[in-house]
């Protein structure tokens, strides 16, 4: 018989962060486009990272 159940939680603290993705080649995402930089905004809620915003820098 199991008298207690042990649970574990994520002990890492991610905080809020931004991930930038930079394109390097011309026309990678569309004809005539030079490169661009995309920002993915993440925030921590209850020990999990969630997407909270996107941005594009031409």
Q: Which residue has the tokens 């002990």?
A: 11
Nearest to 10 by CA among 40, 44, 53: 44
Question: Over 70: is that where the pLDDT of 45 sits?
Answer: yes
Cβ-contact 42, 19 below 8 angstroms: yes
pLDDT per position as a tens digit, 6-33: 544 555 666 788 888 887 777 776 777 7
Q: Over the range 36-57, which residues count as b (16 or more CB within 10 Å of their CB) and which as e?
A: eeeeeebebeeeeeeeeeeeee
pLDDT of residue 4: 47
Distances (CA, A) of 12 to 40, 43, 46: 20, 14, 11
Q: Is the pLDDT of residue 38 over 60?
A: yes
The per-residue pLDDT of the chain, averaged, comes to 75
Q: Is the pTM of this model over 0.85?
A: no
Percent of the chain with pLDDT over 70: 74
């Amino acid at each position: 018989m199991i008298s207690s159940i042990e649970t574990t939680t994520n002990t890492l603290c991610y905080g809020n962060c931004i991930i930038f993705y930079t394109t390097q080649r011309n026309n990678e995402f569309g004809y005539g486009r030079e490169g661009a930089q995309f920002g993915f905004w993440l925030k921590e809620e209850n020990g999990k990272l969630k997407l909270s915003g996107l941005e594009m820098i031409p």
